[in-house]
Homo-oligomer: A and B are copies of this chain.
């Protein structure tokens, strides 16, 4: 017998029929002897409906009141799921974030969890109850309702799992796990049985939007085993996110992520002198523009910088860069929005040479020109023209034989 925290997102509880299905899943785990704590989101569409009401009464809804408003979404779901469980003869009890004393700071709309009073939940579990907790919401020290920001239900679940010392935190979603890459691009992309925490972070931040990054970080911090599962499939083990690398195979590559949301900026022929990187990139950061990849080539006296920003920030960054260019006496400024970043992610890179060269060879074979390269301990990213997205991802998936199970388990 173990203690499991399960989280079901908005689509999984989108109708009363689906809520009854969730109840059945919970019951199966109860009947298998597990203690179950369930965290749920608002029924899909509900949060938007509430926000639309807010817009009808106010151009800029007061953040404290918006949290009071949208937190009703999860409150409806916890009540309905508890009713469905009780109807099936299983004792259940719902709790809002406030009732379960999920204490956050007072940053309405993006609050951070500070602590949870887990005693009440433990008492309920001891009495054989299923505990159903509203995700995405908490309460500050003064009793004001707060929300963790969109998608924050994942974080609620992980935080509860950590506070309760749960054996596993299961995130039920509309995908059945983490894949070696997007199956829409590579049809024989394979579901990973496990992925390390660091790989997951890289895969998620690269656009494989399975989980909220914050919740994965949280799970890592508190060492909570996290599993991604489908709420629409009867069975399936999903993907387990691990924090150890003990059972690693050689040359383990977890998968290929890609991101089409970036744009590239280049400043060439900058007279090289100490502090020049700061003079160029400082003003970009000060404008609150997040810089992703940075590459610098130093030649004789002159240096070139290339970096990427989110495509939405491209024009603003370009305007700043043009100003900076005349200040520092650069030769030229160039930009490119038609790019895609493709990343190979895997902890196996740490101990294995030759992975980068295999990657570059595979791309070269297809005639794909690499515009930018950046590496980290468990990731190699390349920027290529966006037209090569499918071709590049497929070539790499094949080169590293990711469709085969053997390389992963």
- Chain A residues close to B by CB (< 8 Å): 16-17, 19-20, 23, 50, 53-54, 56-62, 64-66, 68-69, 71-72, 75-76, 78-84, 86-87, 92-94, 96, 98-99, 143-145
Whether A68 lies near B78 (C-beta < 8 A) is yes
Whether B84 lies near A76 (C-beta < 8 A) is no
Q: Within 8 Å CB of A143, what residues of B? A: 99
Q: Could you give 28 example pairs across A and B, Cβ below 8 Å?
A: A16-B53, A16-B56, A20-B57, A23-B57, A53-B76, A54-B80, A57-B81, A57-B84, A58-B83, A59-B87, A61-B87, A62-B83, A62-B86, A64-B93, A64-B94, A65-B79, A65-B83, A65-B86, A65-B92, A68-B75, A68-B79, A68-B94, A69-B75, A69-B76, A71-B75, A75-B75, A98-B99, A99-B145
Q: A20 to B78, alpha carbons, bound, how many Å?
A: 30
Whether B80 lies near A69 (C-beta < 8 A) is yes
In the complex, the chain B residue whose C-beta lies closest to that of A16 is: B56
Give the most central of A59, A68, A80, A94: most B CB within 10 Å: A68
**Partner pick for A82 among B62, B79, B83, CB 8 A cutoff:** B62
How many copies make up the complex? 2
Q: Within 8 Å CB of A78, what residues of B? A: 68
CB distance from A83 to the nearest CB of B (A): 4
Whether A94 lies near B80 (C-beta < 8 A) is no
In the complex, the chain B residue whose C-beta lies closest to that of A43 is: B53
For the complex of A and B, 3 pairs with smallest distance between CB atoms: A69-B79, A16-B56, A72-B72
CB distance from A88 to the nearest CB of B (A): 9
Q: Within 8 Å CB of A17, what residues of B? A: 56
CB distance from A22 to the nearest CB of B (A): 10
Whether B65 lies near A94 (C-beta < 8 A) is yes
Whether A58 lies near B72 (C-beta < 8 A) is no
